[in-house]
Every structure is written in structure tokens, then in C-alpha cells.
Amino acid sequence: MPNQPGAAGVGDDGASGVPSERRGIAVSGDGLLPDAGLDGSGDEGAAAGAGGEPNLRDRPDGIRPAPAGRFRRLLGGGRRGGQGLGVLLGGTGGAVLEEASSQAAGRLRLGRLRRAALPVPLHLASSLASYPHLSLLERASVGRAALALRGLDPMDPALDDVDFASWLRERGQSARTIEALWDLVGIATLNATAEHASLGLAAMVFKTGLLSDPGAADIGWASVPLGELHDTRARAALDKAAVRTILRGRATAVTRTAPPTGAPGHDPVPERGLRPETAAGSAAVPSAGARWQVAVETGPGRTELLDADVVVIAVPQREAHELLPGGALEDPGALLKIGTAPILNVHVVYDRKVLRQPFFAAIGSPVQWVFDRTEHSGMKDSPGAENSQYIALSQSAAEDDIDLPVAELREKYLPELERLLPAARGATVKDFFVTRERTATFAPAPGVGRLRPGARTRAPGIYLAGAWTATGWPATMESAVRSGMHAAVAALTTLGRPHDLDFEGVGRESV
């Protein structure tokens, strides 16, 4: 998922931009039931149930499974031994709260979605049947839509041209059902509402996370900041492999240099005019055996030229458009047609604990997902901050908020947090700041599939990587990693070098 800070799985680091740890409760309406256990004002046992260890394979050292006791205590797994499925794709358990009209104002109705130890799709049937935020007819319609979704092939090009909301409505899904269930998952995973999401990408998300295997949605979360996993440990591995890493450098050009004299396709004049839109009438695509030179700005007035046999361009689509040599893609302009979607993160530090769960989500509220980042940020060990709590709101598809001034965001979100978290009403806000990712992900709009290029280009030795390339996934960590694997396998295969790189599908998928 693209937007949750601090958890392992998919998305960007929420502190600078991701979807991540997936445990907790979702709330909506005009307040939180005292027994919901979010802010310590009630009985934590309200979310009790049996739990189990998540189904994690080959998890990195920095990712830990939730202990069974914490599953029971925090997440509310099935009472007869089934592991919990959260309200989001990949949740290990959870609950949804919304205002119950039959209750006093300010009190919410608690509901949970969790999986049972049954085959797909029966693993969700009993949970869906008791989901209190939909009527009986709406719950029944969800089951029918899920079965229809299970029969779709996400790789079918025809699905790419259809928006998910239209498909849902044609299968009897009400606006309330789309908001309370489908968008609860879809906005966080696709960074778009159903109205603006490709059916192909939506089908991929829901089939993989909810309809492929009973344990496909089980949750693990990072016990360290994502930077520790993606930067510190990755850099240590690269250093160990004698890989040189240049930090704070900016690639400005990729130029073909002449292959050795006498080599096939020898052209003693390096290509210039690197912008794809100027490629018309330029020299032919470089022949095999050509080498490449990358210009990297390493400081004011300083440019370093790096020679390479292979270049993997792993930057956003617009920057890739600028760097690709002429003729590298049949339609380089397609990269500029791939839209972008923003993610906004609102960070609040309170002088006391206001949230007891690791995270929660809200429906019927401007707040989407709220995460406790106190431990991950290291704040709890800071002098004078022992009792403080640092929470982050991760807001996907944030087009309406992404450019609002901080003062307006403060006026919008602090009262809403007080509405959802009673303990925040008397708390002092010690810090409030915002991080913005205006182009956090590619937009998963209908028709985007035909615009996404594969790893190979028409220029030998030049490959593309990034979540926006043709991985079949939306803009998630999985998509980014798969794209890198595709590019690496393609490059090593082209060079004729043996490798043991492999992961599910990489040998069969087009690279």
C-alpha cells in the first residue's frame, strides 16, 4: 500500500511519503466508543479474540511477526482460532467504528473484519456477514461482487479501460458500500478512489490480498524505521559487495559513447540531444556493444562522468523521459501521459498518550489512517519526551489538501483528531508539521496500463525500473522491487552473465 508510515510490506515511508503497518481499528462518525481501546479510555478486551502468527516468508531481520497475544489483545482475530483480517488489505485483525443512530451522539458502533481458517472465499464470509456498517442486502451484494472479482484476470487489457467504481455499481454496490469497504482498502493501496482507479489494478489488489489465499492478508510490521531497512542495511550490503554509492547526486544525461574501434555498429561520435522529444531524425538506436556515459551533478559546478556497460534508469517517469536516449522507446511521450497522485502526511506530537493502538483508520471522516510513530521515531528515548506521543496521519489521494497551508491543515485535522480520540481533547500539541509528496505515486487511472513500459528498451544496455513500469502492480513497494528484479535479470541475461536472481514470475514475465 502506498501510504502508511512505518510498516513493512508495500508503499513509501510515511514520514517522507507510505502504506505500511497494518494492525488496529477503523473508526468513523462522531467519536469513539469508550470500550474501543484506541486511547486507553476503555476496555482493551473489546477487541479480544484468538490469534496466530502471520504468514510471512523470508522476512528480513527488521520485520517481526506480531506475537499471538498481541493479535488477540489488539487485533481481534477469530474466536475459534482463525487469524484476524484487518479492515485494510493485509490486516491481521481490526475493527471499524461508526456512529450508531440508535445510540447517543458521540458513540460509535464497533465492527471487525477478520479471516477464519477456511478456504477462500469462505475465510471472510462470517466476518462479512456480521459487518455492521452495511445493511444485510449490501453485505450480500459484496459477496456477489467479490466472486465476480475473483473471476477476473487482472492482466486482461480490457480491464485497464474500465474504472473500478463503474464495475462495482454494475454489480449492485451502493455508494455507501464503496466508501465503507471497497474504498477503505482501495484508496490506501491504489492511491485513488474507485472512481479514478483502473479495474485491472483494483482487481490485482483485491484478488492478491483478499481472494488468493487465506493468509495472503496477514500482517507483519517493521520493528525499525523503514530507512533502516531501505537505506542503512541496503547500503551496508552494497558496501560489502564493493559497490560505490553516490549520495546527493543528480543524473542529468545518459549518453552513448562509441564502442571499441571495429566493433559492430561503431560510431565514433557520441549521441547528443538526449531528450526523447528531439529524437526524431536522430541517429539510429545504438547497436549492441555500445557503452554508456552518465553525467552526475555532485555539487555546484561539479559534474562527474560515469562509464557503464549497463544503465538502469530508476527514477520517476517524467525524469526517465528526460534521461532516455533518442529512440530508446517507441513512444517516449507515453511516459508524460502517466499521471501522478499525491500523498500528504500530517505529523502531530502530543504531550501525552492519546492513541493506544498501533494505528487506526476512519471512514466518513477527512482522516484516513493514523499511526503511532513514537517508537519508530526514537522520540520515547528523548529527554523530556518520555510521556509524549507522536502520531502521523497518512492521507492518500490527497489532491484537495496537498497544497493547503500548514495553518489550514492544522485547523482541519486537529479538531477531527479530538473528535475521534477523546484523550486528545485535553492534550497539548507540542509539534505539528506536514510532509508532502506531490508526485508520490503514478496515478492508477483507467488506461494507464498501456502507457507503462517494460524493463527493456530499444537501446541495448538501457533498462527501466520503478513502480510505474509494467509490473502489473499498482504503486507499491512490491511493484518497485519487482521492477528492479526485472531490470537486473534482463541486464544480466543480455550481458550473458550467470545469475541466481529469481522471484515469483520473473522467469516467466516479459522483461
Residue 90: which of 151, 24, 145 has the closest Cα? 24
Output phi, psi for 219, to 5 deg.
Answer: -115, 140
List residues bridging with 12 in a β-sheet.
Answer: none
The answer to whether 188 touches 19, Cβ cutoff 8 Å, is: yes
- Give 25's pLDDT tier (boundaries 50, 70, 90): very low
Residue 115: which of 150, 80, 65 has the closest Cα? 80
Domains (ranges, CATH) in the chain?
24-222 (no CATH), 246-338+446-495 (3.50.50), 342-439 (3.90.660.10)
Query: What is the percent of the chain with per-residue pLDDT over 90, rounded to a whole number?
Result: 50
pLDDT, tens only, 393-437: 999 999 999 999 999 999 999 999 999 999 999 999 999 999 999
What dihedral angle (degrees, nearest 10) is formed by the CA atoms of 498, 503, 509, 511?
-50
> How many angstroms separate the Cα of 256 from the Cα of each of 286, 418, 494?
7, 58, 17
Residue 263: which of 290, 239, 240, 242 has the closest Cα? 290
pLDDT of residue 193: 97
pLDDT, tens only, 300-357: 999 999 999 999 999 999 999 999 999 999 999 999 999 999 999 999 999 999 998 8
Sequence-ordered strand ranges (E) for 205-249: 220-222
- Fill in the DSSP letter of residue 198: B
pLDDT of residue 13: 32
pTM: 0.76
pLDDT of residue 15: 32
The answer to whether 466 touches 476, Cβ cutoff 8 Å, is: no
Cell numbers representing residue 294 in the block: 552518465
Q: Is 357 exposed, middle or buried (0-12, 13-18, 19+ CB in 10 A)?
A: buried
pLDDT, tens only, 52-76: 322 323 333 343 333 333 322 222 2
Cell numbers representing residue 501 in the block: 536472481
List residues bridging with 254 in a β-sheet.
Answer: 294
Distance CA 69, CA 288 (A): 58
Residue type at position 178: I
Residue type at position 355: L
pLDDT, tens only, 92-133: 334 444 544 333 345 656 667 778 888 888 888 888 888 888
**Cell 510490506, located at residue:** 9
Distance CA 416, CA 450 (A): 40
Distance CA 209, CA 471 (A): 16
What is the β-pairing status of strands 108-111 and 94-99?
A: antiparallel
Phi-psi sector, 492: left (phi>0), alpha (psi -120 to 50), beta: alpha
Residue 132: which of 222, 26, 238 has the closest Cα? 26
pLDDT, tens only, 246-278: 999 999 999 998 654 444 443 433 333 333 332
Residue 123: which of 213, 24, 23, 205 has the closest Cα? 213
- Beta-carbon contacts of 448 under 8 Å, excluding residues fewer than 6 positions away, are 160, 198, 201, 338, 339, 442
Residue 1: which of 481, 477, 436, 372 has the closest Cα? 477
Arithmetic mean of pLDDT over the chain: 76
Distance CA 205, CA 132 (A): 24
What is the β-pairing status of strands 302-308 and 291-299?
A: antiparallel
- The neighbour count for residue 279, using CB atoms within 10 Å, is 19
pLDDT at 381 > cutoff 70: yes
pLDDT of residue 385: 82
pLDDT of residue 190: 96
More confident residue, 189 or 218: 189
pLDDT of residue 114: 78
The answer to whether 114 touches 88, Cβ cutoff 8 Å, is: no
For the ranges 8-22, 287-301, 426-440, 455-469, the lowest mean pLDDT is seen at: 8-22
Phi-psi sector, 6: left (phi>0), alpha (psi -120 to 50), beta: left
